[in-house]
Amino acid sequence: MAEDATSSVPAASAHRSRWAWGFVVALLGLQFSLGYTSAWNKSPVYDEPAHLFAGYTYLRTGDFRMMPSHPPLAEMLGALPLLAFDVTMPDLETPGSPTAGNWDEGAQYRLATHWLYHAGNDPDRIMRIARVPMLLLTALGGLAVYCIATRALGIGAGLFALALWAFSPSILAHGRWVTTDLPAAVFFVLAAYSFWRLTASVSIRSFLLAGVCISVLFLTKFSAGLFLIMAGALVVVRVVQRTALPVSLGPWGAWVIEAHDRTRRGLCLLAAGVALGVCLFVAVWAGFGFRYQGARDEGLHYAVYGFGRFDGSMDDAWQFLATDKHGHGSVTRRTILWMADHHVLPEAYLYGLLYTLKSAEVRLGYLRGRISTEGWWYYFPYVFAIKTTLPLLALTIVGAFGWLRCLRVGSPRERQGAAELLWPALVVPAVYGLALLGSSLNIGHRHLLVVYPFVMVIAAGSAWWLRAEQPPALKWLVALLLVLHAGAGLRTHPHYLPFFNTLAGGPANGWRHLSDSNIDWGQDLVHLKRYLKTHPELLADGERLRLAYFGTADPAHYLSAIEPLPSWPFMPEPDLNRFIPGLYAISVTELSGLYLNEMEPWDAELQWRWEALLAAREELVTAGHDADALATLVNKNRQVLATLFPPEARRSFLDDPMQYAPFFAALRDEVNRALFDLRFLQLILRLREQEPLARVGYSIYVYRVGPENLRASVRP
């Protein structure tokens, strides 16, 4: 993407080589085929229904409130093909309808699931159509990686980088889904290199290209704010370099700012940055239809993070989102409020920024059996190390030495091309990586996708060692690593999401390291259906599969005769009778315990609580509706019953239980719910030690649960 004076001979020849483009088309076609055939056999992942329904509502209604945590572009791209088909909208208005009020109550996921499965639509057809634009966008990312590496190091490096992209399990995993993660990675690399090209040669063409790429990035992900830091760092690099800056403004003439005049070059780039800011400003308004109000009608509420239905005014909602978990504001949040007060940017965009900041404050993270809301500084380096193929890790190191070798002994044009294209590949991952190290939002490898295109550009430096003059052993090593990387992508098909390298023990042991979207995002209901169909002997006549599922897809669409166990986000009502011997299917996110109401370890305190609640339940049943008897047993069991109350109310209950007398009768249901959660935790702890009958897609484990797994208690 660095053209004009910075282009090299190998870069120019790449565009004229038909055989090279034949390989490009073949690799991108193969990646598309791998992605689409695997997506064909996957149920929607956790975020997909909400993202897709949001995009569809934006296109159909012009109401931008559905998914405030993300700008709308990627979601609308996924939903765009649906406009050509007969897709039914759910009834959002009629009182008493299943979805009435869901929008204002912040129940985006429940509403999206209803739209996909219960509004008269064909969910399988919808998802297969909507995933095509995402796969095409993934191909665009591969094309960008190819062009960057080719312009820097030649055709061989470009094809090398493209092969790394095409067969990467990480890219294949997320390139299929209607989410914002892979689109953000593609637009980050396009924005970085188009901006870098603009800083090398200011022209109408380079300005428009950078303006478009940066605008689509900011309309795709709120993490695009980091690009401002990246752009600033790239401008500093460009200013301190001893290179002239050509400026061509069409009818306004052309001139060259001398290399030694850093001040003039800096002012020129500052002016270009201001112009880009104006372009971005207009693009954001265009993305929301040049309308400030996010709702289609006056008086409609946005969802408020952390609430079911927010009963305050929208002013209260803005103020709530503008404070952190300690009730404090910040310069960033106060600036966003000021921008909202003065209508600087569309309401939905500014509200989404605050919503995202609030949602990122406290999120559960899982790492090697530990659960935390504070996160770990080393979470993302650890994730990168075990979720990236070992050959790619090795090739990144080998490639770095290849870049250095080219910079030292390459021809003048080779050195120039390599030096020009290397800087964004260093700056963007460095800034983004530092931001991740300081983030407590430790919920997924998908947040690392932004660094992968740049890592692959670095790894493409390995192609330098394939040259004729290099030692044969080194050439064979590089070629072998590339083949092993491609083999990992082919061998993993179609289960790309739960890929873990051998450092982690492979996909079968992945859940012991990570959870949630790293391995199980609700994607394998189709494969569970197929497994049960090919093993009919596992379920006796009339027996129901007991399913603990993590995801927003509707299991009833794929499976018949199921009995739901605790599942996230839609938890069933507790019923201790569900825990009987039989066939159990447990999502590994549930197996990890990340979102269980009761959390491990099972220690003496949990054992006491289990036994005390069992005794209290018996007494509650005996007391019936006798107010005096209820008061007596509540006082007697106040210590264990206090654990049913939220922390802020426990001391008050312990001091004077009688002030809660109107709620004594309801304690039976609460005791049953707590026992149900504890019983499920007991089961999970036992199943972790048991070899499953099957690992369906490595995300759903199937067990034959016998009486020995359902003992009445677990003693530490």
366 forms beta bridges with: 371
Query: Same domain, yes or no, for 423 and 544?
Result: no
**Which domain-ending residue is among 417, 438, 466?**
466
Query: Same domain, yes or no, for 590 and 665?
Result: yes
Query: Same domain, yes or no, for 537 and 424?
Result: no
Query: Same domain, yes or no, for 164 and 44?
Result: yes
The pLDDT tens digits of the residues spanning 30-61 come to: 999 999 999 998 999 999 999 999 999 999 98
Cα(first)–Cα(last) distance of the chain, in Å? 61
Q: Confirm whether 379 is domain-assigned.
A: yes
Query: Same domain, yes or no, for 537 and 606?
Result: yes
Q: What is the pLDDT of residue 7?
A: 43
Q: Confirm whether 325 is domain-assigned.
A: no
For residue 519, pLDDT beyond 90: yes
What CA–CA distance (Å, rounded) separates 192 from 606?
Answer: 52
Question: How many CB atoms are located within 10 Å of the residue 504 CB?
Answer: 20
Q: What is the pLDDT of residue 220?
A: 97
C-alpha torsion angle, residues 536, 540, 543, 544 (rounded to 10): -20
Q: Of the candidates 212, 176, 179, 210, which has an alpha carbon nearest to the alpha carbon of residue 196? A: 210
Q: Identify the domain containing residue 63 by its residue range.
A: 4-290+375-466
Q: Tell me the pLDDT band of 432, cut-offs 50, 70 and 90.
A: very high
Query: Same domain, yes or no, for 399 and 543?
Result: no
The pLDDT tens digits of the residues spanning 583-637 come to: 999 999 999 999 888 877 888 889 999 999 999 988 888 887 788 888 888 888 8
The pLDDT tens digits of the residues spanning 558-588 come to: 998 898 888 888 777 666 667 889 999 999 9
Query: Same domain, yes or no, for 566 and 424?
Result: no
Query: Same domain, yes or no, for 53 and 180?
Result: yes
| Cβ pair 418, 212 in contact under 8 A | no
Query: Same domain, yes or no, for 565 and 436?
Result: no
Instruction: For residues 236-254, give the mean pLDDT.
Output: 82
For residue 252, pLDDT beyond 90: no
Q: Confirm whether 249 is domain-assigned.
A: yes
Least reliable range by pLDDT among 25-29, 87-91, 441-445: 87-91
**Which domain-ending residue is among 466, 491, 510?**
466
What CA–CA distance (Å, rounded) separates 443 from 384?
Answer: 13
Q: Confirm whether 345 is domain-assigned.
A: no
Chain mean pLDDT for the chain: 89
Q: Confirm whether 140 is domain-assigned.
A: yes
For residue 2, pLDDT beyond 50: no
Please tell me whether residue 61 adopts helix, strand or coil conformation.
Answer: helix
Query: Same domain, yes or no, for 127 and 47?
Result: yes
Amino acid making up residue 420: E
> What share of the chain in percent tops pLDDT 90?
61
Q: Of the candidates 637, 648, 647, which has an alpha carbon nearest to the alpha carbon of residue 671? A: 637
Q: Confirm whether 218 is domain-assigned.
A: yes
Query: Same domain, yes or no, for 176 and 38?
Result: yes
Q: Tell me the pLDDT band of 23, cut-offs 50, 70 and 90.
A: very high
Q: Tell me the pLDDT band of 136, cut-offs 50, 70 and 90.
A: very high
Query: Same domain, yes or no, for 549 and 432?
Result: no
Q: Confirm whether 350 is domain-assigned.
A: no
What CA–CA distance (Å, rounded) separates 654 from 466?
Answer: 74
Helices (H), 154-261: 155-166, 169-174, 181-200, 204-218, 226-240
How many independent structural domains does the chain possess?
Answer: 2
Q: Of the candidates 22, 24, 27, which has an alpha carbon nearest to the alpha carbon of residue 485? A: 27
**Which domain-ending residue is among 466, 485, 516?**
466
Q: Confirm whether 87 is domain-assigned.
A: yes
Q: Is the pTM of this model over 0.85?
A: yes
